């Protein structure tokens, strides 16, 4: 209202000036001049009042707008002491305390395998006589991982998949770690023992659908997933760890007692953004072997697990102790990567069951990422990680993820003296499509043989080809 009144007064004064000027000579000059000065002063006064009122209105509007914004912010702001909910770099849902020192995350992986075999036994005495293809949930895991007060970490995972179509859900892993004594980390519980390069690499990140047979045979002695207590330490270019291990996960019978020790050391003399070279060594010693129905059997499948039958294997052995020595060599050069491991097995039978036995095995593999990405080295595990596509698949943008080709040759010989476990050789070709950081499709072709004899020299070996595919979802 004040602004309107001031505007009216200003218009009236301006009109009066116009009338006086129009009178001309009818009015005395001095009278006109006096009145003009008075009116001009009044106009200036009214102009100042109008400008002041406009400023007051604008300031009032700004104050009202600021008050409204404060109300909205107060209604939507997160309390200072509320937990934070976020998604990790691997798209893992995570809830953390306000200070970030306590977190819990969901973790899951699903690996669906499909495939078939062209299996040709050498004779009717070969066991098995056939391998059957199909589809299995190789791994179907779900669990939680978390952190307490920065230094304590835990992992609880259940497994619903398995080899050869196993579907029973089991408690797969559950362990606790403490990393308060840098650079050391203490482990305890049921865990996947980080023994050997290929076992230190997560099954989410391995190049092929399955690890090489000599790796699995060595891990079955005192590694793999089992009760364990140990300590690791690492820096950017080295990693070391030692573990005392017990029975495998899910085995509780006293006949399944299995106590061993493992050790691993790796060093990287070359580690740059464009190249790396890893050299390592491993040792494993089984000093309390299982007895009775759980006697140790060195065996494995043909590097594809859709059919659960095995042709390679020594059969149960009365073992007093066993020792495995192995060497590692791996590296990267741009988008090319390679790795290999050699294994020397020594088995001491129980007294009265003959002399010691010696077996051996190795594998060598290489891969090339066609789309230019690189496999990065993980200092915390002393192994190489997965491929993270620089352009995740999105057909609308013309992005097709990352593509990788790979090849592997593996050999394991479980024949010595009067033990005829067989000699297995496999050539595997692989094609991997990394859709994004969480989804991968794999295709493997295997061409292999098992040369196996009876004690009398009879042929019970086989030749085979296999094709397998995997759909993997993990976070």
- Return d(Cα 193, Cα 227) in angstroms, integer: 9
Q: What is the pLDDT of residue 87?
A: 81
Is the per-residue pLDDT at 199 higher than 50?
A: yes
Tokens 């001491």 found at: 348
Q: What is the pLDDT of residue 33?
A: 64
Q: What is the pLDDT of residue 169?
A: 76
293 and 342 inside one domain: yes
Closest CA to 106 of 152, 168, 157, 151: 157
- Return d(Cα 403, Cα 401) in angstroms, integer: 7
57 and 123 inside one domain: no
Is the per-residue pLDDT at 287 higher than 60?
A: yes
Q: How many CB atoms lie within 10 A of CB 114?
A: 15
Is the per-residue pLDDT at 149 higher than 70?
A: yes
6-10, 22-26, 336-340, 444-448: segment of lowest average pLDDT = 22-26
Strand runs labelled E in 179-253: 184-192, 225-235, 238-248
128-137, 222-231, 255-264, 452-461: segment of lowest average pLDDT = 255-264
Is the per-residue pLDDT at 56 higher than 90?
A: no
Q: What is the pLDDT of residue 28?
A: 43
* Average pLDDT of span 400-418: 97
| Mean of per-residue pLDDT scores for the chain | 86
64 and 188 inside one domain: no
- Return d(Cα 265, Cα 456) in angstroms, integer: 43
Band (296; pLDDT cuts 50, 70, 90): confident
* Average pLDDT of span 317-322: 92
Band (61; pLDDT cuts 50, 70, 90): low
Q: Which residue has the higher pLDDT, 205 or 46?
A: 205
Domain C-terminal end among 47, 76, 105: 76
Q: What is the pLDDT of residue 253?
A: 47
Q: Which residue has the higher pLDDT, 32 or 103?
A: 103
48 and 98 inside one domain: no
106 and 135 inside one domain: yes
Band (408; pLDDT cuts 50, 70, 90): very high
90 and 63 inside one domain: no
- Return d(Cα 14, Cα 47) in angstroms, integer: 11
- Return d(Cα 450, Cα 465) in angstroms, integer: 12
Q: Is 429 buried (19+), middle (13-18) or exposed (0-12) by CB count in 10 A?
A: middle
Q: What is the pLDDT of residue 79?
A: 58
302 and 167 inside one domain: yes
Name the percent of the chain lying above pLDDT 70.
80
Cross-strand bridge partners of residue 416: 419
Domain C-terminal end among 46, 76, 106: 76
- Return d(Cα 145, Cα 159) in angstroms, integer: 15
**What letter would DSSP give residue 461?**
-
- Return d(Cα 19, Cα 359) in angstroms, integer: 122
Give, in degrees to the nearest 5, the angle at Cα 404 between 403 and 406.
160
* Residue 325: CATH number of its domain: 2.40.160.10
Query: In sequence order, what are the residues at sequence separation of 6 or more whose Cβ sits closer than 8 angstroms to the Cβ of residue 471?
Result: 110, 111, 112, 439, 441
State the residue range of the domain holding 187.
84-474
Is the per-residue pLDDT at 263 higher than 50?
A: yes
Is the per-residue pLDDT at 255 higher than 80?
A: no
* Average pLDDT of span 188-195: 95
Number of domains in the chain: 2
- Return d(Cα 46, Cα 23) in angstroms, integer: 25
Domain C-terminal end among 24, 41, 76: 76
158 and 69 inside one domain: no
175 and 125 inside one domain: yes
Q: Which residue has the higher pLDDT, 257 or 356?
A: 356
Q: Is 295 buried (19+), middle (13-18) or exposed (0-12) by CB count in 10 A?
A: middle
59 and 108 inside one domain: no
Name the percent of the chain lying above pLDDT 90.
69
Is the per-residue pLDDT at 40 higher than 90?
A: no
Band (21; pLDDT cuts 50, 70, 90): very low
33-47, 93-107, 402-416, 417-431: segment of lowest average pLDDT = 33-47
Q: How confident is the model over 369-380, as pLDDT tens digits?
A: 999 999 999 999
Is the per-residue pLDDT at 18 higher than 60?
A: no
* Average pLDDT of span 131-155: 94
411 and 308 inside one domain: yes
Q: What stretch of H or E contains 20?
A: helix 2-23
Is the per-residue pLDDT at 83 higher than 90?
A: no
- Residue 374 in 3-state DSSP? coil
Query: In sequence order, what are the residues at sequence separation of 6 or more whose Cβ sits closer than 8 angstroms to the Cβ of residue 282?
Result: 195, 196, 262, 263, 264, 265, 324, 325, 326, 327, 328
398 and 418 inside one domain: yes
Closest CA to 223 of 194, 252, 250, 197: 194
């Amino acid at each position: 209202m004040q602004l309107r009144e001031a505007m009216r007064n200003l218009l009236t004064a301006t009109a009066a000036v116009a009338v006086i000027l129009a009178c001309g000579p009818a009015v005395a000059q001095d009278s006109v001049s006096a009145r003009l000065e008075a009116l001009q002063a009044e106009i200036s006064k009214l102009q100042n009042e109008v400008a002041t009122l406009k400023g007051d209105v604008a300031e009032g509007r700004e104050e009202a707008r600021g008050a409204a914004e404060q109300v909205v912010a107060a209604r939507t702001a997160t309390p200072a002491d509320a937990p934070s909910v976020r998604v990790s770099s691997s798209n893992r849902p995570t809830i953390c305390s306000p200070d970030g020192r306590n977190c819990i995350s969901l973790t899951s992986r699903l690996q669906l395998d499909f495939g078939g075999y062209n299996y040709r036994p050498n004779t009717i005495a070969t066991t098995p006589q056939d391998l059957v293809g199909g589809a299995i949930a190789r791994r179907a895991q779900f669990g939680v991982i978390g952190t307490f007060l920065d230094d304590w970490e835990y992992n609880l995972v259940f497994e619903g998949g398995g080899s050869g179509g196993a579907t029973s859900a089991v408690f797969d892993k559950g362990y606790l770690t403490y990393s308060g004594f840098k650079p050391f980390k203490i482990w305890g519980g049921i865990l996947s023992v980080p023994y050997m390069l290929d076992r230190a690499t997560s099954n989410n990140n391995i190049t092929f659908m399955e690890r090489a047979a000599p790796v699995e045979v060595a891990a079955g002695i005192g590694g793999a997933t089992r009760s364990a207590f140990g300590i690791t330490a690492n820096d950017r270019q080295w990693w070391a760890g030692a573990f005392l291990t017990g029975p495998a996960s899910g085995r509780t019978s006293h006949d399944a007692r299995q106590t061993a020790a493992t050790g691993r050391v790796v060093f990287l003399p070359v580690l740059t953004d464009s190249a790396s070279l890893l050299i390592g060594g491993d040792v494993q010693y089984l000093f309390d072997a299982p007895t009775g129905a759980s006697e140790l059997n060195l065996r494995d499948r043909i590097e594809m697990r859709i059919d659960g039958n095995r042709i390679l294997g020594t059969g149960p052995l009365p073992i007093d102790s066993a020792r495995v020595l192995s060497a590692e060599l791996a590296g990267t050069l741009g988008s090319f990567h390679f790795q290999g491991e050699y294994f020397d097995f020594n088995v001491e039978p129980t007294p009265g069951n003959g002399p010691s036995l010696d077996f051996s095995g190795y594998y060598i593999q290489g891969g090339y990422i066609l789309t230019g990405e690189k496999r990065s080295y993980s200092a915390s595990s002393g192994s190489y990680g997965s491929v993270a596509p620089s352009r995740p698949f999105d057909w609308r943008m013309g992005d097709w993820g990352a593509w990788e080709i790979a090849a592997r040759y593996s050999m394991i010989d479980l024949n010595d003296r009067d033990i005829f476990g067989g000699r297995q050789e496999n050539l595997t070709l692989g094609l991997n499509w990394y859709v994004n950081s969480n989804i991968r499709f794999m295709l493997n072709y295997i061409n292999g043989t098992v040369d196996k004899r009876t004690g009398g020299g009879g042929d019970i070996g086989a030749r085979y080809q296999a094709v397998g595919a995997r759909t993997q979802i993990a976070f």
